């Protein structure tokens, strides 16, 4: 996954309200020159995120509408890429999680959809300059 730019991966994140680990899906957008992983959470909770336009930078929930990704991979609901900030994954830690089976590749999205998601994420208010640069570099080689 660390070298790919179009995979969704299930992981577990701590729910701040309950303190329990919950399964979540991430979309790998790209990797940085240093090998870190630029990713964003997927959500099936619409919360005012529109389906049209796909790329929405409005308040309070900016997102990119992906549609139904892959029912066989647990992604059978309408999904949005959450464009709120998310720290990059340390490339070494991500590789360890992959090797341990704690992080796995769940699905791959079509390149045309990935391109649109990358363009949307690069322009998001909460995308850092370094993340935007890495995303735009990935777009340039697609």
Nearest to 23 by CA among 2, 42, 39: 42
pTM attached to this predicted model: 0.83
What size, in residues, is the chain?
142
| Residue spans per domain, the chain | 7-141
Give me the percent of the chain exceeding a pLDDT of 90.
60
Q: What is the pLDDT of residues 27-40, one digit of tens each?
A: 999 999 999 999 99
Q: How many other CB atoms are there within 10 angstroms of residue 114's CB atom?
A: 22
Q: Can you tell me which residue has the tokens 């647990």?
A: 74
One digit per residue, the tens of pLDDT, for the chain of length 142 reads: 333 334 554 466 666 678 877 778 899 999 999 999 999 999 999 988 999 999 999 988 999 999 999 888 888 999 999 999 999 999 999 999 888 888 888 888 999 999 999 999 999 999 999 999 999 999 999 9
* C-alpha–C-alpha distance, residues 101 and 105, integer Å: 10
Q: Which residues pair with 10 in a beta bridge?
A: 25
């Amino acid at each position: 996954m660390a070298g790919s730019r179009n995979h969704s991966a299930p992981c577990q994140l701590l729910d701040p309200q309950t303190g329990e680990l919950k399964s979540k899906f991430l979309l790998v957008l790209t990797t940085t020159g240093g090998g870190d992983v630029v990713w964003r959470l997927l959500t099936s909770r619409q919360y005012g995120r529109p389906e049209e336009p796909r790329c929405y930078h409005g308040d309070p929930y900016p997102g990119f509408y992906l549609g139904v990704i892959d029912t066989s991979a647990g992604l059978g609901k309408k999904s949005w890429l959450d464009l709120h900030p998310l720290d990059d994954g340390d490339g070494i830690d991500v590789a360890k999680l992959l090797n341990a089976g704690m992080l796995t590749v769940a699905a791959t999205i079509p390149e045309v959809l990935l391109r649109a998601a990358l363009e949307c994420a690069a322009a998001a208010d909460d995308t850092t300059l370094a993340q935007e640069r890495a995303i735009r570099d990935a777009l340039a080689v697609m």
